[in-house]
Structure 1
Amino acid sequence: MARRGSFEVTLEGRGAVTLREVDYVASGGEGAIYRTGQTGVKIYTDTAKMARDGIAEKIQLLAGLKHSGIVAPQGLVLDAGKKPIGF
């Protein structure tokens, strides 16, 4: 489910961005998807899952993939405390 109101996150390598309710696309079992411009952002519902499952390290490895036939994460999404909360 979309968060109520607006909230600011930091996109690794791009800087701060404000996600708004209007940017909300969909939710699933692990989190919610937002769209800001041409960028899709996944915010985990259980942000502790990122630490527990080593997601931040996996995202950083996948961000290095560069191929026209592969869609890969571009980096982490950080909260105001610089804690990874998505990608």
Structure 2
Amino acid sequence: MDGTGISVDFDGRLLVVQPTNATSKEELGTSRLSLSISDISRLSLKGAGMLRGGRLSLTMHDGSRYQLPFNREQQHTFAQLYKALRSAKSNI
């Protein structure tokens, strides 16, 4: 699935985020981010509005944080991803 400047894939255990432009690469800090569901301590979802984008925020057990941006058209897909991540976390 695509977010704003990112491509995201989740297979039920591993979340892979790849930036699709230079700005996103700089914000993410890498050209490919792979996160195990067991490494995620907190998740939150903030929906996109008329004038602002939404974001899926991830906090890791080591304290690092990542924000995955999306726009209004991508909001439904990211809401489904959020639910899938929460479900996977509850099963570990």
- Name the TM tier (shorter chain): 0.3 to 0.5
Higher helix share: 2
